[in-house]
Chains A and B, each alone.
Chain A
Amino acid sequence: MSMLILTPNLPDPDGFYEELIRAHEGLTKEQSDAFNARLILTLANHIGDREVLRQAFEAAK
């Protein structure tokens, strides 16, 4: 069974964080929410493993 990675796995964490916030720049709250939703769906499809996604729902609680 695949496991959700919960140890550091992102290269250049500060750089990623900056990019994530920048992606929301200039968006209204509603646009940001919509963006986030699209982002989650896109990432979920990439992961493509329902068990890993279920673990992520837990981890994010």
Chain B
Amino acid sequence: MVATRYKTAFKLYPYEKVAAQDAAPVRHPVVIVGGGPIGLALALDLGQKGTPALVLDDHDGAGLGSKAICFAKRTLDIANRLGASQPMVDKGVVWNVGKVFHDDHKVFDFNLQPEDGHRNPAFINLQQPYFEKYLVDAIHTAQAAGAPVELRGRNCVTAMEQHGSYSTLTVETPDGPYQLEADYLIACDGARSPLREMMGLSFDGRVFEDNFLIADVHMKADFPTERWFWFEPPFKNSGQSALLHKQPDDIWRIDFQLGWDIDREKEMDPDRIRARVDAMLSSQAGEVPEYELEWTSIYTFQCRRMEKFRHGNVIFAGDSAHQVSPFGARGANSGVQDADNLAWKLDLVLKGLADDSLLDTYATEREHAADENILNSSRATDFMTPKSELSKTFRNAVLELANKHAFARPLVNSGRLSVPCDYTGFALFGADTLLGGPDISKPGMPCPDAPHGDGFILDHLGGGFILLALGCEAQNVSAHGVGAQALNIMAPSDALKARYLGNTAQAVYLIRPDQHVVARWNNFVADDVTAALATAIGKG
């Protein structure tokens, strides 16, 4: 039997018996355990590149309930590359204004006016089940076009055995267990990762001694589409901090920071939750608007990661590899970047175009990213929950000063929004020989978006390696059988010039399939580009 651990919001990959269940174990190049956002993004990416990917999930769709709501621009850019972003942006709530309150007064508000000339907004609010559904929709579209992706719902991995060059999995289904084999096994099985447990690997870090009550509330109130955050909120029993944030379908996310010593069961009593929500909403609306509790839950957060994301032919991605507190929305957002990083490397290795050691760079690059995310999330949590009297004195000093003086506002930390990782200095990247080139597009950075033709430059980057020539001409190059396709733009738009040329008249960029800049030059020299390309696939 396959136990149901949670209810699903959408049934996305219903169980269907496959012939392999009655046959000898079949070997697959890539088996992904877990059909959450990370496993799905990885499967879609691999499938679009023509590399077979089998996803096993113990449920048959997206889990219902309050999880991620904030999806950042980089995630949307990746989803756009995968052909899945449009419904996300259409459905999602775009917001720019945030207000920060301390007790009963407003400290300041900010407007994250997006910079012009990007396809995607800085972020959207969208319930995680929708995010997963749109990825599955894109997988179905890709399957119809021949992409070798398979999703098996209600397939629960209950045992694994790692051999030299492959792993054997035992999978429980409604029709009983069967076995299969994987050349590469990708563990996208979430923070509690059963695979990590089965392998006896540790997951160390910091537990924040705090409980957060999260209530998703359905109401037709005309509160503005803004993010409201309170430090030491004035409404009754609301804890150390509170948050109000809008989602699609007239749903509002409300968070209360309850502290450590609480009686969880008592706090989950709907009457008690309603009393809290009433106090918060009436403090803003003057009266209690009509609302229904959609979903409530109490979370304790931690910041931790596995020491190594790669263990032989088993690779960890997403929450199984790293976990952060949600302030800054770095969980799913960073996990999708894991998938983005891993897909092209796995694809090249499986096609025999790169050595297996290329996958080590997935681990080093993403371990670095996880450290950055953990650092940011820990800092936000420490600001929100001062750990000593003194740190609270400074925290409140910042809030008081921020009310009067602009200088203190950047110190206020109620979560720093997820930004993509910069891989500067890692082994696969080349030199920055473009004097005067902008920092935002230096080697290691993800390519900034900019208008180009009828669309945007990111529409043309990624998939494979691209050689972007601005104001000059480059030719296709190849190294060890891997090609880089030239994209020559003789008359770049102003935004392209600002974001890629800076003070120079022309430039040549080598760009990875995950849209990170490998190296850049003043002009096209085939030998230099070929050498950088070889380095980028681990053959430098």
Contact = CB atoms under 8 A, between A and B. Distances in A.
Interface stretch (B82-90, B363-371, B394-402, B531-539): B394-402
Nearest to B400: A38
Contacts of B396: 34, 37
Interface residues of B, number: 12
A34 B393 contact: yes
A33 B390 CA distance: 9
Contacts of A40: 394, 397
B6 interface: no
A45 B397 CA distance: 13
B397 A38 contact: yes
Contacts of A45: 407-408
Interface in A6-61: 33-34, 37-38, 40-42, 45
A42 B393 contact: no
Interface size, A (range): under 10
A33 B396 CA distance: 11
Contacts of A34: 393, 396-397, 400
A38 B408 CA distance: 10
A34 to B, nearest CB: 6
A46 B507 CA distance: 39
Contacts of A37: 393-394, 396-397
B112 to A, nearest CB: 22
A37 B408 CA distance: 12
A40 B407 CA distance: 13
A33 B401 contact: no
B108 to A, nearest CB: 15
B408 A41 contact: yes
A56 to B, nearest CB: 16
A41 to B, nearest CB: 6
Contacts of B397: 34, 37-38, 40-41
Interface string B403-437: 00101100100000000000000000000000000
A33 B411 contact: no
Interface in B373-398: 390, 393-394, 396-398
A45 B393 CA distance: 17
A33 B405 CA distance: 19
Contacts of A41: 394, 397-398, 401, 408, 411
A45 B396 CA distance: 16
A21 B393 CA distance: 20
Contacts of A38: 397, 400-401
A37 B398 CA distance: 8
B393 A33 contact: yes
Nearest to B389: A33
A33 B400 CA distance: 13
A34 B397 CA distance: 6
A53 B470 CA distance: 43
A30 to B, nearest CB: 8
Interface of B: 390, 393-394, 396-398, 400-401, 405, 407-408, 411
Given A33-B393, A34-B396, A41-B408, 13 more contacts: A33-B390, A34-B397, A37-B393, A37-B394, A37-B396, A38-B400, A38-B401, A40-B394, A40-B397, A41-B394, A41-B397, A41-B411, A45-B407
